[in-house]
Amino acid sequence: MQSRAKTSDFNTLYEAGKYEEAKQLAAAGAANANEESDPLLWNLHAGACCIAGGQFESAVAIFDEAEVFCKEDDLQNDALKGTQTAGEILTNRYIVDYDPTQYDKTFVNYYKALSFMALGDFDSSRVEWNRVYERQRMAVAEFEKEISKTREELFAELEEQENAAASESGTAEETGTAADEVQAVDSGEEEETDVDVQRMVEAAKERMNEKGEQHQWQPYTDFVNPYPTYVGGLFWLTKGQDKGDYEKALDNFKRVKGMTECELVDQDIASAEVCLAGSGAKTAAKNVWVVFENGMGPILDEIRLDLPIFAVSQSSPIKTVSMALPHMKFRDKAYDYLEVVAGGATDRTTQLADIDRVVATEFDVYYDSILAKSIASTVAKMLGQVVAQEALGDAGALIVGIFNSLTTQADTRMWTALPKEVQVARVKLPKDGRLQLKSPQGLVLSDVVIPECNDCIVYVRIPKANIPAAVTTIPL
| 8 A C-beta contact, residue 298 and residue 331 | yes
| 8 A C-beta contact, residue 403 and residue 291 | no
The DSSP code sequence of 113-127 is: HHHHHHTT-HHHHHH
| 8 A C-beta contact, residue 422 and residue 351 | yes
Q: Which residue blocks in 148-211 are alpha helix, DSSP H?
A: 151-169, 178-186, 197-210
Q: Which residues of the chain have pLDDT under 50?
A: 1, 36, 79-80, 82-83, 85-87, 89-91, 165-166, 168-179, 181-193, 310-312, 314, 316
pLDDT given at position 308: 55
Residue 27's nearest CA partner among 50, 52, 11 is 50
Entry pTM: 0.84
pLDDT given at position 318: 55
Tell me the CA distances in angstroms from 303 to 207, 364, 460, one per residue in order: 10, 16, 34
pLDDT given at position 392: 58
Instruction: Report angle CA 420, 422, 428 to the nearest 5 degrees.
Output: 155
In the chain, the largest separation of any two C-alpha atoms, in whole Å, equals 85
φ and ψ at 318, to 5 degrees?
-95, 125
Domain ranges of the chain: 76-475
Gap between the Cα atoms of 74 and 345, Å rounded: 48
Instruction: Report angle CA 263, 268, 270 to the nearest 5 degrees.
Output: 100
pLDDT given at position 44: 97
| 8 A C-beta contact, residue 108 and residue 415 | no
Q: Which residues contact 38 (CB under 8 A, 6 or more apart)?
A: 1, 2, 29, 97, 98, 413
- Report CA 294 to chain centroid distance, whole Å: 16
pLDDT given at position 174: 45
- Report CA 69 to chain centroid distance, whole Å: 15
φ and ψ at 443, to 5 degrees?
-70, 130
